[in-house]
Amino acid sequence: MKFHTLTVRKLPLLCCGRLSNFFIDYSDKCTLKYLNLDNAILIISILMGSIIVRNPFMYPKQDCYIKKDCPLKICQINMKNTSELGILLENVFSQPFIAFRRQCQVNFKAAHYHRTPVTVIPIMYNVQHNQDFGSLWKGVSSSIVLRGISVASENLMSEVLDYPKVIMSPNSWMIVMKHLALKAISFAVTTPIMISAFLETVQTSLDREKPGLFDCVFEGFKRIYNDVMGPRGHPRFSVFNLTVPTVAYRLLFYVTQKVFRWHMYNSVKSHRATRSEQNKSPFDKYFPEVFTALTSDLFTEALLYPFETVLHRLYLQGTRTLIDNLDDGCSVMPIMTRYEGVIDCIRTIKLDEGIGGFYKGFGALVLQYMLHLGLVHTFRLIYEYFDRNMEAMITSESTEVDNHEVRNI
């Protein structure tokens, strides 16, 4: 490992950009040290601690540890891995819109369908005003727990069954089928917890205490116990009866999303390749993946929205759950239905509510992805701004060092 002492006279509060042969050390005699960080995407901030620079693009196993005399820390940002950003968007920023649209989907009595974003925001304000700010984020903890359990169960079953978790190159149908079988098993195992997490999302905050972090897990096992040991003839569907449509929906969602993302990624990447190098920024290298992730999610959600509406109504039936009345956002109401199954639910919605009944709350979905797109665009502008500042800083500092060396000579 290389050790240097860092003494820099001027430091920005926050700079971001691509560094190439950036001088990282001034000694007393102004001897210039060079650190090759070609194509590394870095963020520089005023933080206490030593500097660790990682460059996974050029030398994945080579780190450079630098002792320092001033509070500067360099941290690498790998934008090729956007899953953390997706999880943050889905479980934090998107949760109010997810909860809103789910409550719309299960409310068969609703007079307002909220299929456009215009009607969504006033009702969300009323709900927050009459309850509390946290009511918009109900179910966020259970969603995170569900995601963690899903990942853990998939990893465990992949090790036990020796099925691939990721398909690097779908050249063999056997590999693809094993991968889809692994997904189906994981979806089936987590169905009880997913149903409990869904109920936490739609239940009004006025009718319950704040749920615990793992309440969705306990409620999932409790529902299985009641289905096995409880009385028969209850209008609530058994978890075992809901497993097949749930696995079918989630598997169809997964396949549709991946296929559309693959086609969109290749199209956007080929379009970006036609642009000249002068018009490209470092962000353009990773923007195709970010853009296709958003568009594929939106396309899949919109395409399968009616199926999701049917499933959510089956989940809620017989649970005696009170939801917010989203016609005014100021009251609550019970949901009591007697669907006999998936086909009967589809037929009843079409007869009683029309085709629009399958798209209740669609405006919240539009708002959700408008927020996603706005955040990505804002991040891109900030990134390009700091990238330009970093290039200017590097040029300015290099000129100062060269002039100082000339004077010493």
Domain boundaries, given as residue ranges, for the chain: 5-78, 83-380
CB 7 within 8 A of CB 376: no
DSSP 35-56: E--TTEEEEEE--SS-EEEE-T
Q: How far is CA 215 from the centre of its chain?
A: 22
pLDDT tens track, the chain, 409 positions? 343 333 333 333 333 333 333 333 333 333 333 333 333 333 332 232 333 333 333 333 333 333 334 333 333 334 344 445 556 656 678 889 999 999 999 999 888 999 999 999 999 988 888 887 778 888 888 888 999 999 999 999 999 988 888 877 667 788 889 999 999 999 999 999 999 999 999 998 887 777 778 888 999 999 998 888 877 767 889 999 999 999 999 999 999 999 998 888 778 777 666 666 555 655 566 667 777 888 889 999 999 999 999 999 999 998 888 999 998 888 899 998 989 999 999 999 999 999 999 999 999 999 999 988 888 788 778 877 776 676 566 556 556 555 555 555 5
> What six digits make up the tokens of 36?
């090759």
Number of neighbouring beta carbons within 10 Å of residue 292: 20
Helix ranges (DSSP H) in 203-334: 215-229, 239-273, 287-303, 305-316
Q: Which residues contact 3 (CB under 8 A, 6 or more apart)?
A: 65, 66, 67
Residue 400 contacts by C-beta under 8 Å, 6 or more apart in sequence? none
| Alpha carbon separation from 265 to 103, 123, 137, 258, 325 (Å, rounded) | 33, 37, 32, 10, 41
**What residues contact residue 152 under an 8 Å CB cut-off, 6+ apart?**
none
- Could you tell me if 106 and 313 are in contact, meaning their C-beta atoms sit under 8 angstroms apart? yes
Q: Which CATH class is domain 83-380?
A: mainly alpha
Alpha carbon distance 75, 53 (integer Å): 6
Using DSSP's 3-state secondary structure scheme, residue 334 falls into strand
* 8 Å CB contact between 100 and 140: no
Helix axis angle, 305-316 to 287-303, nearest 10°: 60
β-sheet bridge partners, residue 6: 68
Which residues lie closer than 8 Å to 214 by C-beta, 6 or more apart? 145
Environment class of residue 325 by beta-carbon count within 10 Å: exposed (0-12), middle (13-18) or buried (19+)? buried
Per-residue tokens: 305: 């929205």
CB contact set of 226 (below 8 Å; sequence gap of 6+): none
Q: How does DSSP classify residue 209?
A: P
Beta-carbon count within 10 A of 335 CB: 19
HSE-CB at 93 with a 13 A cutoff on CA atoms is 15
What pLDDT is stored for residue 323 in this prediction? Answer: 92
Name the strands in the sheet holding 51-54, side by side, starting at the edge strand that comes first in the sequence: 5-6, 63-68, 51-54
The whole-number pLDDT of residue 234 equals 74
Bridge pairing between strands 5-6 and 22-26: unpaired
**Angle in degrees, CA 357, 235, 190, rounded to 5:** 80
Q: Give dist(CA 364, CA 62) in Å, integer.
A: 46
**Structure tokens, 398:** 């290099």
